[in-house]
Amino acid sequence: MAFDSRLLDGLGVLHAVVEAGSFVRAGEALGLTQSAVSRAVARIEGRIGVRLFHRTARSIALTDEGRRFYQAVMPHLAAIEDATVEAGSASAKVRGRLRVNVDGAIGHFVLAPRIQPFLDQHPALFVELAVRDRMGDLAGEGFDVCIRFGQPEPSALKCRLLLRSRVLTCASPAYLARHGVPRHPGDLEKAHRCVLLRDPSTGSHFGWEFVRGKKAVPVNVTGQLMVNDTGSMLAACLGGQGIAQPLELYSREYLADGRLVQLLPDWADETFPLYAYHHSPQLMSAKVRAFLDFVTGLVK
Determine what percent of the chain is predicted with pLDDT higher than 90: 48
Q: Average the pLDDT over 35-53 and give the result.
A: 85
Residues forming a β-bridge with 211: 216, 268
- DSSP 8-class letter at 94: S
Average pLDDT value over all residues in the chain = 85
pLDDT at 164 over 60: yes
Residues forming a β-bridge with 197: 227
Question: Rounded to two decimals, what is the model's pTM?
Answer: 0.67
Residues forming a β-bridge with 277: 146, 159
Describe the crossing of helices 64-88 and 5-20 by its angle, rounded to 10 degrees. Answer: 110
How far, in Å, CA of 162 to CA of 186, rounded? Answer: 33
Q: What is the pLDDT of residues 51-110, one digit of tens each?
A: 888 887 677 888 888 888 888 877 777 666 666 555 544 434 788 889 999 988 999 999
Which domains are present in the chain? 5-66 (1.10.10.10), 93-158+275-299 (3.40.190.10), 168-269 (3.40.190.10)
How far, in Å, CA of 264 to CA of 170, rounded? Answer: 9
- Confidence band of 8 (pLDDT split at 50, 70, 90): low
Which segment of 143-152, 215-224, 231-240 scores lowest on mean pLDDT? 143-152
Contact 225, 242 (CB under 8 A): yes
Q: Torsion angle, CA of 19/25/27/33, rounded to 10 degrees?
A: 150
Higher pLDDT: 108 or 200? It is 108
